Chain A
């Protein structure tokens, strides 16, 4: 026995050492300095968020990187790759929770030696990554996550940026849309997934509604658990209260299930649905969603993106590659990549040179750049958070064609709290300083 024990301790040592060495060797091999601009792209490739968000985003990244490397974009992005250097995208899966994402983020930066990271749909992942980005001094763009805590919890962030809007904008925008198009609604109801996203969305929506729609009262709220899929009981509970508006921050499969079931049960005939993430399934509703249902895209993205040259071009290549129109997560991914390109090309470095994270951050901070969604101002969060307007509109489906009607846009200054003010306080104080068109 004794003999054997010293034997297997040897196996142990050699096994662990071999593994570690093998890993180290493999790591340094793939981190060769090849003059390419390496970008880590992190989004959901598996799990419930993959279909509605992750896959369209990853597809957008792939097609955009491909076209950028050919130099096919319209001005001002017609330079090849990023600052003349070819882009190499490293796409990884966001599934698996915050601990794993921190691990994979470190792997991206330290093992794969990426020059910048773009990613994160989940707010929990964004919050976990933000301090690590500062620690590793890596230029990082959050492209989709919505938590207002990102820069509130990290006020000194130097390397973390967000080109998407935070979730309070969605709900302030939604209330402004109601106030503009249906100022006399009195009965509001809501159904949210019972997790941070749903809870925060509903809190912002109800607070904004009490300020902008003083006549309205909340008649019912339901918080089914996420990925529940069956909403029979909740729909009944909502129906009996006869709401005029049913607000929901549902997304993905849950949202499609809710629309299908609520429509079949007649809830969406009596009440108007208001889906803050509704645009993500624009292509799949067909006739299963009622005409007149209000949908949003979390900003001027997807169907609500403006008719500019960049967006027309982007929709064209996306459609060519995947036979689908880009939904809002795809537009947001394109926006983040264009933001990175803008920062790199305005960092004051020579052609084909790859700027450092500090140079990228300095160029991005407070910048104003052109994007597929129009002009983006990095005007909040100390120059780290994008400010843009938001558009809501009604879904209509006639003769096999889906379209948006009665779209109303609100300026960034109209729906975004001023610098340093928390959304909840801003709403409670009655939106001081809001500039609406």
Chain B
């Protein structure tokens, strides 16, 4: 397996992040953990955006991942973090394989609204499940890693952070390879002109189907990591505003590069937390203006700051 330069640099950044985790304060590690875990969900949104579909219901898989991890520990005695995360991804894949059969028949706003609808159905079911704490949700605790229980507090925080960085790295490398491979490039062709792709003898529908299922798995991983880090899950994870936030971050980063969602998620988290600190009454406005500024000045997202320089150099 030959690693290209992007993969090597992603690996180095991941290593730097893990090392950075040992010297940074707790709040920063937590913020980065959540940002990176959310970035995984955003990767799922971006994968679909690249083929022309905007999912307004990615919270569905984020929530499935989180709740599977939580319920695994609470009701089924699955305390191993890796097993619980894998189970979350498995459940998400099964659900996505079913829903995908219907959803991939739709495009544009119809796809967006249908995906949103399914996510809200899960929200509705969870709200009515009083055994699962209804809207209050329940705590996620006592998880282990290969039989080893990290000490509560800083120890478990570092463990989740490292797990998130490593998962982020693996997912980023896989997605990077996918987008560079022939099939990934065809995703863009589907977005541009689906009929032509069909004339080339390929089935856009099954391509989108595979994409949808893969995106679901990645999103569930992000949800599971969020649950481990936060120590609490609630139905809000499947609510449409959560899904909207993922689309927001996707637009903020742009589709230019596999690293864009990670950067966007971190920027988003910092803007939000400082907005809340400095303008507690109007922090939403700051977020709104940030998105507005990005849409007006950087229509291809934050990543165009990097790619713009690239074209400059070439000239």
**What is A's interface to B at a CB cutoff of 8 Å?**
2, 4-9, 11-13, 15-17, 19-20, 23-24, 26-27, 30, 45-46, 90-93, 97-99, 102-104, 106-107, 109-112, 123-124, 127-128, 131-132, 135-136, 147, 149, 153, 194-197, 199
Contacts and interface: CB of A to CB of B under 8 A. Distances in A.
Given A99-B230, A111-B25, A8 B136 contact: no
Contact of B234 (A45, A93, A124, A131): A124
A199 B280 contact: no
Interface in B1-50: 4-6, 8-10, 12-13, 16-17, 20, 24-28, 30-32, 34
Given A12-B9, A26-B274, A45-B281, A149 B25 contact: no
Which has the most chain B C-beta neighbours within 10 Å: A17, A103, A195, A197? A103
A172 to B, nearest CB: 19
A17 B266 CA distance: 11
Nearest to A111: B27
Nearest to B233: A98
21 contacts: A7-B310, A8-B257, A8-B310, A9-B12, A9-B13, A11-B309, A12-B13, A12-B263, A13-B13, A19-B267, A24-B28, A45-B280, A97-B234, A99-B232, A103-B34, A123-B136, A124-B236, A127-B138, A128-B231, A128-B234, A195-B135
Contacts of B9: 5-6, 9, 12-13
Contacts of B34: 99, 103
B137 A135 contact: no
B313 A4 contact: yes
B284 A196 contact: no
Contacts of B242: 97
B30 A98 contact: no
Contacts of A5: 4-6, 9
Contacts of B239: 97
Nearest to A126: B136
A106 B30 contact: yes
A124 B137 contact: yes
A98 B5 contact: no
Contacts, number: 164
- Which one of A4, A147, A194, A197 has the highest number of Cβ atoms from chain B below 10 Å of its Cβ? A4
A436 to B, nearest CB: 30
Given A2-B5, A98-B232, A124-B136, A107 B313 contact: no
Contacts of A195: 127, 134-135
Chain B interface helix/strand/loop/mixed = helix
Nearest to A102: B230
Contacts of A93: 276, 280-281, 283
B282 to A, nearest CB: 8
A135 B153 contact: yes
B236 A131 contact: no
A196 B134 contact: yes
B226 interface: yes
A196 B12 contact: no
A128 B232 contact: yes
A194 B139 contact: no
Contacts of A131: 139, 141, 231-232
Given A12-B263, A45-B280, A135-B153, A103 B30 contact: yes
Most buried by A among B31, B226, B237, B313: B31
Contacts of B263: 12, 15-16
B129 to A, nearest CB: 10
A132 to B, nearest CB: 7
Nearest to A109: B27
Interface of B: 4-6, 8-10, 12-13, 16-17, 20, 24-28, 30-32, 34, 127-128, 130, 133-139, 141, 152-153, 226, 230-232, 234, 236-237, 239, 242, 257, 259, 263, 266-267, 269-270, 273-274, 276-277, 280-281, 283-284, 306, 309-310, 313
Nearest to B303: A8
Contact of B273 (A9, A104, A135): A104
A33 to B, nearest CB: 16
A197 B27 CA distance: 31
B273 A8 contact: no
Nearest to B27: A110
Contacts of B237: 97, 99
A92 B24 CA distance: 23
A232 B73 CA distance: 43
A27 B26 CA distance: 12
B236 A97 contact: yes
Contacts of B274: 23, 26
Contacts of A112: 277
Given A98-B137, A127-B232, A199 B130 contact: yes
Nearest 8 interchain pairs by C-beta? A9-B9, A128-B232, A196-B134, A110-B27, A97-B236, A195-B135, A124-B136, A5-B5
B128 A135 contact: no
Given A9-B6, A23-B274, A98-B234, 11 more contacts: A15-B263, A16-B266, A20-B24, A27-B25, A45-B281, A99-B34, A124-B232, A127-B138, A128-B139, A132-B231, A136-B26
B24 A127 contact: no
Contacts of A135: 152-153
B6 A127 contact: no
A254 B28 CA distance: 38
Contacts of A19: 266-267, 270
B270 A23 contact: yes
A390 B204 CA distance: 64
